Amino acid sequence: MIVTKFGGSSLADAGQFRKVKQIMEMDHERKYAVPSAPGKRGSGDDKVTDLLYACHAAAAEGKPFKHILERIRARFEEIRSELALQVDLDAEFARIEKDIASGASRDYAASRGEYLNGKLLAAYLEMPFVDAKDAVRFDRDGRLMEEETNALLSEKLHSLARAVVPGFYGADPDGNIRTFSRGGSDVSGALVARAVNADIYENWTDVTGFRMADPRIVPDAQYISTLTYRELRELSYMGASVLHEDAVFPVRKAGIPTNIRNTNDPKHPGTMIRANAGQDNAHIITGIAGHKGFSIVSVEKDMMNAELGFGRRVLQAFEEYGISFEHLPTGIDTMCVVVHEKELAPHKDEVLARIRELVQPDTITVSDHLALIATVGRGMVRAFGTAARLFTAISSQGISIRTIDQGSSELNIIVGVDEDDFEVAVRAIYDAFVRM
Binding residues for ligand ASP (CB under 6 A): 8, 36-37, 47, 49, 113, 167-168, 182-185
When the beta carbons of 47 and 427 are compared against ligand ASP, the nearer one is 47
- Select the residue whose beta carbon is closest to ligand ASP and give its number: 185
How far is the CA of 127 from the CAs of 35, 193, 194, 292, 429, in angstroms? 13, 17, 20, 46, 48
- The helices-and-strands tally (H runs, E runs) of the chain is 14, 15
Query: Quick one: 8 or 377, whose CB is closer to ligand ASP?
Result: 8
Distance, CA of 178 to chain centre: 19
184/209 with CB nearer ligand ASP = 184
Nearer to ligand ASP, 47 or 56 (CB): 47
Q: How far is the CB of 37 from ligand ASP (least distance, A)?
A: 4
Distance between CA 365 and CA 363 in Å, rounded?
Answer: 7
Least distance (Å) between residue 75 CB and ligand ASP: 13
What's the min distance (Å) between Cβ of 206 and ligand ASP? 12
Amino acid letter for position 293: G
- Least CB distance from residue 47 to ligand ASP, whole Å? 5
| Dist CA 130 CA 162 (whole Å) | 10
Q: Among 83, 57, 54, which residue's Cα sits nearest to residue 70?
A: 54
Q: Residue 247 or 297: which CB sits closer to ligand ASP?
A: 247
Least Å from the CB of residue 147 to ligand ASP = 22
Pinpoint the alpha helices (H) of 303-397.
Answer: 310-320, 341-344, 348-359, 386-395
The answer for residues whose C-beta is within 8 angstroms of residue 168's C-beta and 6 or more apart is 36, 37, 49, 110, 111, 113, 114, 132, 179, 180, 184, 185, 188
Beta strand residue intervals within 258-411, DSSP E: 258-262, 271-274, 287-300, 325-327, 334-340, 363-376, 403-406
CB of 5 to ligand ASP, least distance (A): 8
Nearest CA among 16, 73, 67 for reference residue 40: 16
Q: Which is nearer to ligand ASP, 110 or 153 (CB)?
A: 110
Long-range contacts, 355-358 (Cβ 8 Å, 24+)? 355/297, 355/299, 355/313, 355/314, 355/317, 358/313, 358/314, 358/316, 358/317
37 or 314: whose CB is closer to ligand ASP?
37
Closest to ligand ASP by CB, 34 vs 288, is: 34
Q: How far is the CB of 366 from ligand ASP (least distance, A)?
A: 36
Min dist. Cβ of residue 36 to ligand ASP (A): 3
